Amino acid sequence: MPLLVDTLLRVEHLTMRFGGLVAVDDLSFDVREGNITALIGPNGAGKTTVFNCITGFYKPSEGRLGLRHGKPAVWDALEPLTDSGARRRVHADGTLFLLERMPDYLVARQARVARTFQNIRLFPGMTALENLIVAQHNRLMLASGYTLLGVLGFPSYARAERAAMERARAWLDRIGLLARADDPAGALAYGAQRRLEIARAMCTQPVLLCLDEPAAGLNPRESAELNQLLRTIRDEDGVSVLLIEHDMSVVMEISDHVIVLDYGVKIADGAPETVRNDAKVIAAYLGLGDEEAKIEAEIGS
Amino acid sequence: MDYFVQQIINGVTLGSIYGLIAIGYTMVFGIIGMVNFAHGDVFMTSAFIALITFLILTTLFGITSIAVSLFIMLITAMLFTSLINWAIERIAYRPLRGSFRLAPLISAIGMSIFLSNFVQVSQGPLNKSIPPIVQGEFVLFRHASYPVTLSYKQVIIWGITAVLLAAFWFLVARTRLGRAQRACEQDQKMAALVGIDVDRTIAATFVIAAALAAVAGTMYVMYYGVVSFADGFVPGVKAFTAAVLGGIGSLPGAVVGGLLIGLIETLWSAYFSIDYKDVAAFSVLAITLIFLPQGLFGRPDVEKV
Amino acid sequence: MTVLANSAGKGGRVEEGAIARDRNRFVAAATDASLTALIAFGLFLPLIGFETVQNINEVLVLRTRWPFLFSLVAIIGAGRLAYVLVVPPWLARRAARPIAAEPPAWRVAVARWFVPCAIGFVVAYPLMVAWALGLRGSLKWIDNFGIQILIYVMLGWGLNIVVGLAGLLDLGYVAFYAVGAYSYALLATHFGLAFWILLPLAGILASFWGILLGFPVLRLRGDYLAIVTLAFGEIIRMVLINWVALTNGYAGISGIPRPSFFGIPFNADDNGFAAVFGLPFSPIYRTIFLYYIIMALALLTCFVTVRLRRLPVGRAWEALREDEIACRSLGINTTNTKLTAFAMGAMFAGFAGSFFAARQSFISPESFTFLESATILSIVVLGGMGSQLGVAIAAIVMIGGTEITRQLDFLKEIFGPTFDPTQYRMLIVGFAMVVIMVWRPRGLITTRAPSVYLKVRKTIAADLVKEGRG
């Protein structure tokens, strides 16, 4: 596969084994900058495992995960970087990362890949506002002089905290939760929790946002709002989105690019229209014999 | 070499006692996911009950048969200790089931403090020693001047431990109660839905744990002939170490872990430093938890994201 | 009885039914109580019914205590009967009562003024006691109640950072207390360094040990972490016992210099504190001075903790307690975050330890047993994890309560001269821990105050706040 100029994340030969089980088998795909890319497939296809590999929660058994910041020219460093054994290479016009070499928190902090979770992982005992402030931890930590200046009450920290509050407030406004800012996250309705988790991930100022089933459990109206939110994240914030989704109405409506997984193997890759008519994809869904999968496939086609 | 063989014999004896206590930890942890901190003190209490039974038998009834008195000691200690552990579960742990996760641990620590102080207050702070119940030994072989011996009481400990472990294994593997226990270990809600009385199963687990601890307690009194109210904590932690080393939740693991801890402790005392023998046990605990948290026979714990 | 009273006005038939129901209830309660008494009899038969004592030939013999056993069983049975008859109806009545929507005004006022008043009281306490009881009589009250409680308040607040905020269960906290105490004792006796130099040094050494011990264990979770910290705590204590060349083993270190009043010693000499200030000599001045040192240290602990909670590091601690995986997904280095919590908690324990050594002038490994760790942890859990005020109240209840049992000499007049109430101290403490956990598993103060707010600061109900998985 040739490297396209707008490739943001390049997954090559990703394989993940758990003991004897091969959850992801030799998977390769690209996520392009400014796109919403959907990763779909029947239950147990290995989608979340791919996410966990990209975000550093699992160390892949094999494969390379390259991510670029800055100009496309940094891709030229891919082979030298791989050979050097380093995690990243900084250039004048950008940085190239090899995500499989980085621990989870560095993937978020340095490579700026943010994620949400299939079963929402908010901080339920902290308020919605606090959730968004915690997401800005690293910037605030720096501003507080690793706590020292903060304890002494230096003004630089107060400034940084005000800015963080401002960003949090703006995001709460965008997801329609400004009035609930001081309520604990655990007390919010399910749909609101989903939106808050996305806002929290966005508060880390990522280049790539990975969403694990963002529409699960949402009603049609909330689902439509989510579509709108994801579009603005792509178009206004300029953040690329990679999402796992079962809700085909979401996938087909908003994604620019769809990758279909089945039993850890990629069976289709392309624009939504091409994928939905792909014989293998239909077979994978129908072949499940599962009523729900049938319905999903019907909605899709 | 002779010295070494002798230490192995001693270590296995000590290890049998630890193994019996360790089963209690591992069973309770398996079924309700809690470190039963008071278990060491339950063991100590059972040793006192065995000791008192022995005195009742010898001084009040004048029974001289060793076999009869040992048997009655064992049964009495098992009965009363089971009752005590049943009551502990009922009072201190059952009301906290499904609540804040630290609460049962604190409650167990409270129970541990209560039990050891209860024994101290009711029986006095001094060491309680009795004349040896079982005397005599087999001389296995003798090189130069050093005889390698296997004492009768060691044989008794090995024998009783083996018989009880077999009975216990049968109980867990082959009976309805054992199946209920394993079901509760997997999923208490589901077990309740298919008609298992979860409360009763957990209570039974505590009763069995206490009965095995009581066997260990009786053996302890017979072997050492002395016990004090403070003898619960350190053997308790060592038995817990054994459970962790074997893989917490695994019953054969608890026994193997107990034997290993007994051997490590005995060999450490024999060849390195008797002062630091407890340090050795605690270090094994720390090292196991850090480097092999699933133990020898436990299932690895995969982090769910 | 209440059923009877409630239905009295509704005609005779209802009343008869109520009487029958009441009788049934009584029979059920009596059955329950007899069963409880029977179980109590079984529980106490071996250990209370018989006492093992050494006779004149140092041979163990048995003595029976039947009257004691039966009266204990009778008391338990009667207590159970009263409980069954009284508590469920009372609970039913309480549940029926409507819950007020707004707390009454006086409660709001109390909540607002409680903390300033409490601080004022703590500052004025030694002077008030000295004024009320005279210099000689107040010593016990300032030392045993004032200083002793404040040490545990400080330790509780220190451990609260680790357990309450970061959600890391630490059962070996006393090790850092010991490191602080031995650092001060050894450096002061060998090198003659002053208290005020060694105090920060002891804190730094303790936090260094916190990091050293914390590093390998912090990836463990929950109970496992608790047990490893317990093991480390015990290992440190055993090293203190066995490394006689350094620590003098069980005998401990004595003659540890005490802090001076900015260079002026508290003694009866001409340049002593009393002489310099023209006062008659009394040991109480030193005690009062020590009281204010530990008060200042405790308040410092509290101040720093409150401050840290509003800084990124404190928020990261709380986030860690709530969900570690989410923290990592936000780019938070959880290992460092845990280590800072461990080091910070250890540092305050180190401060408290060096104060302890300076106050006692003698330390031995006996002061740093697992029981101490358990006591401090129960203060934190009993107070309500994360709540500064709750921890302070719990320390007062637990330590004050145990100190009071030392003062129960009048009981000797009831139970005879051989009765020693201090024996029952830990018995009561242990049982109280169980009872309090069953009564309030989340501690006294269960709500969480948010660290930052947009419009209003709302307290967060306990059931939403996670307890941490280690």
Note whether A117 contacts C: Cβ–Cβ < 8 A: yes
| pLDDT for residue C302 | 93
Measured CA angle at A298 (ends A292, A301), to 5 deg:
145
Q: Do C332 and A117 touch (CB under 8 A)?
A: no
pLDDT-derived band of residue C7, with 50, 70 and 90 as boundaries? very low
Q: Does pLDDT of B270 surpass 50?
A: yes
Contact of A233 with chain C, judged by CB distance below 8 Å, is answered with no
Q: Using DSSP, how many helices (H) and how many strands (E) does chain C show?
A: 18, 4
pLDDT of residue C427: 85
CA dist B71 and B228 (Å) reads: 22
Note whether C453 and A127 are within 8 A (CB). yes
Strand A113-115 to A208-212 pairing: parallel
- Residue C328: its chain A contacts at CB < 8 A? 57, 104-105, 108
Pick left, alpha or beta for residue C327 (phi over 0 → left; psi -120 to 50 → alpha; otherwise beta). alpha
List the structure tokens of B44. 């100590």
Q: Which residues does chain A have within 8 Å of residue B303's beta carbon, measured at their own beta carbons?
A: 57
Q: Round to whole Å and give the CA distance between C346 and C327.
A: 23
Residue of C309, C315, C323, C329 to mutate for A, most A C-beta atoms under 10 A: C329
The reply to whether C464 touches chain B by the CB within 8 Å rule is no
CB atoms under 10 Å from CB of C400, counted, come to: 14
SS3 C115: helix
Q: Is A163 on the interface with C (CB under 8 A)?
A: no
| CA proximity to B18, closest of B258, B282, B228, B292 | B258
B290 touches chain A (CB under 8 A): no
CB contact C228 to B (< 8 Å):
yes
Backbone angles phi, psi at A2, to 5 degrees: -75, 150
ipTM of the complex: 0.88
* pLDDT at residue A45 is higher than 60: yes
Chain C residues close to A156, C-beta within 8 Å: none
CB A122 within 8 A of CB A131: yes
Chains B, C: CB pairs < 8 Å: 181
The alpha carbon of residue C259 and the mean position of all alpha carbons in its chain are separated, in whole angstroms, by 26
Are C323 and A127 within 8 A, CB to CB? Answer: no
Q: Kindly report the nearest CA distance between residue A128 and chain C, in angstroms.
A: 10
| C253 sits in which H/E element | strand C253-254
**CA–CA separation, A208 and A206 (whole Å):** 5
Compute the average pLDDT of residues B110-123: 91
Contact at CB, A127 and C453, closer than 8 angstroms? yes
Q: Tell if the CB–CB gap between A126 and C334 is shorter than 8 Å.
A: no
State the SS3 of chain A: CCCCCCEEEEEEEEEEEECCEEEEEEEEEEEECCCEEEEECCCCCCHHHHHHHHCCCCCCCEEEEEEEEECHHHHHHHHHHHHHCCCEEEECCEEEEEHHHCCHHHHHHCCCEEECCCCCCCCCCCEHHHHHHHCCHHHHHHHCCCCHHHHHCCHHHHHHHHHHHHHHHHHHHHCCCHHHCCCEHHHCCHHHHHHHHHHHHHCCCCCEEEEECCCCCCCHHHHHHHHHHHHHHHHCCCCEEEEECCCHHHHHHHCCEEEEEECCEEEEEECHHHHHCCHHHHHHHHCCCCHHHHHHHHHHC
Give yes or no for a contact between A197 and A205, defined as CB atoms under 8 angstroms apart. Answer: no
Q: Strand pairing of A240-244 and A36-40?
A: parallel
- Give the tokens for residue A225: 């709002």
Residue B187: is its pLDDT beyond 90? no
Distance from CA of B301 to the nearest CA of A (A): 13
d(CA B210, CA B27): 11
DSSP character at residue B93: I
| Mean predicted confidence (pLDDT) in C338-363 | 93
- Cβ separation C465–A204 shorter than 8 A: no
Q: Residue B282 is nearest to which of C231, C325, C441, comparing CB atoms?
A: C231
Structure confidence at residue C105 (pLDDT): 74
Taking only the tens place, the pLDDT of each residue in C306-330 is 989 888 999 999 999 888 899 999 9
Instruction: Map out the domains of chain A as residue ranges.
Output: 7-112+206-300, 124-205
Choice between A240 and A143, residue whose per-residue pLDDT is larger? A240
Q: CA C427, CA C430: separation in Å to the nearest integer?
A: 5
pLDDT of B9-54, one tens digit each?
999 999 999 999 999 998 898 888 888 889 999 999 999 999 999 9
Residues of A in Cβ contact (< 8 Å) with C461: 184, 187
Nearest CA to A164 among A120, A134, A119, A208? Answer: A134
Give the burial string for A170-180 (b: 16+ CB within 10 Å, else e). ebbebbebbeb
B275:C242 CB<8 A: yes
Q: Establish if B100 touches chain A: CB-CB under 8 angstroms.
A: no
Say how far apart CA C150 and CA C118 lie, in whole Å: 13
**Cα–Cα distance for residue pair A30/A11, rounded to 1 Å:** 6
A48, A126, A131, A183: best to mutate for the C interface, most C CBs within 10 A: A126
Least confident of A57-61, C197-201, C311-315, C425-429: C425-429
Beta bridge partners of A127: A184
Which residues from C are below 8 Å from A104, CB to CB?
328-329
| Confidence at C3, pLDDT banded by 50, 70, 90 | very low
Closest approach of A284 to chain C, Cα-based (Å): 32
Is residue B239's pLDDT more than 80?
Answer: yes
pLDDT bucket at A138, cuts 50 / 70 / 90: confident
* Angle subtended by helix axes B233-246 and C222-242, to nearest 10: 130
CB contact under 8 A, A137 and C318: no
Contact A262, A42 (CB under 8 A): yes
Is there a contact between A40 and A244 (Cβ–Cβ < 8 Å)? Answer: yes
The predicted pLDDT at position C63 comes to 85
CB contact under 8 A, B305 and A18: no
A52 vs B302: CB contact, 8 Å cut-off? no
3-state secondary structure of C61: strand
* Record: contact A117-B302, CB cut-off 8 A: no
Please state, in angstroms and rounded to a whole number, the distance separating the CA atoms of residues C201 and C179: 11
Q: What percent of chain C has pLDDT over 90?
A: 29
Quick one: which of A72, A76, A87 has its CA closest to A34?
Answer: A72
Contacting subunits of B (3+ beta carbon pairs below 8 A): A, C
Q: B57 is written with which tokens?
A: 């038998």
Dist CA A155 CA C353 (whole Å): 35
**First vs last C-alpha separation in chain B:** 52
Q: Which helix (H) or strand (E) holds C305?
A: helix C284-309
Answer yes or no: do A150 and C311 touch at CB < 8 A: yes
Residue to substitute from C330, C446, C447, C453, interface A, most A β-carbons within 10 A: C330
- What is the CATH number that goes with domain A7-112+206-300? 3.40.50.300
Three-state SS letters, B144-184: CCEEEEEEHHHHHHHHHHHHHHHHHHHHHHHCHHHHHHHHH
State how far the Cα of A178 lies from the Cα of A185, in Å rounded to an integer: 12
Q: Which amino acid is present at B296?
A: L
Q: Confidence class of residue A198 from pLDDT cuts 50, 70 and 90?
A: very high
Contact A18/B302, CB-based, under 8 Å?
yes
Which of the four pLDDT bands, split at 50, 70 and 90, describes residue C2?
Answer: very low
β-pairing, A265-270 vs A88-91, is unpaired
Q: C273 near C266, Cβ under 8 Å?
A: yes
CA-based R_g, chain A, Å: 20
Instruction: State the smallest CA–CA distance between residue A83 and chain C in angstroms.
Output: 26
Structure confidence at residue A4 (pLDDT):
63
* Candidate from C311, C328, C450 with C-beta closest to A151: C311
Using a CB–CB cutoff of 8 Å, tell me whether A236 touches chain C: no
The C-alpha atoms of residue B24 and residue B205 are separated, in whole angstroms, by 8
> CA of B146, closest CA in chain C: separation in Å?
30
| Pairing verdict, β B146-151 and B137-143 | antiparallel
Quick check: C9 pLDDT over 70? no
Percent of chain A topping pLDDT 70 = 92
Can you give the pLDDT at residue A132? 94
User: Does residue B144 surpass a pLDDT of 90?
Assistant: no
Task: Read off the amino acid at residue A102.
Answer: M
**Is A117's CB within 8 Å of C326's CB?**
yes
Predicted pLDDT of residue C99 = 63
Average pLDDT, chain C: 84
Cα separation, C375 vs B110, in Å, equals: 9
| CB A234 within 8 Å of CB A241 | yes
Nearest CA in chain B to C224: B289
Angstrom CA distances, C94 to C5, C33, C105, C436, stand at 16, 24, 22, 20
Chain C positions with Cβ closer than 8 Å to A: 304, 307-308, 311-313, 315-316, 318-319, 322-323, 325-334, 340, 448, 450-458, 460-461, 464-466
Strands B146-151 and A208-212: unpaired
How many pairs of residues across A and C have Cβ atoms under 8 Å apart? Answer: 137
Chain C segment 316-345 residues within 8 A of B by beta carbon are 325
The pLDDT tens digits for C171-215 are 899 999 999 999 999 999 888 888 888 999 999 999 999 999 888
CB contact under 8 A, C331 and A108: yes
The span from the CA of C333 to the CA of C336, in Å, is 6
Of the candidate ranges A105-109, B124-128, B215-219, B253-257, the one whose mean pLDDT is the lowest: B124-128
Relative to beta strand C60-64, strand A265-270 is: unpaired
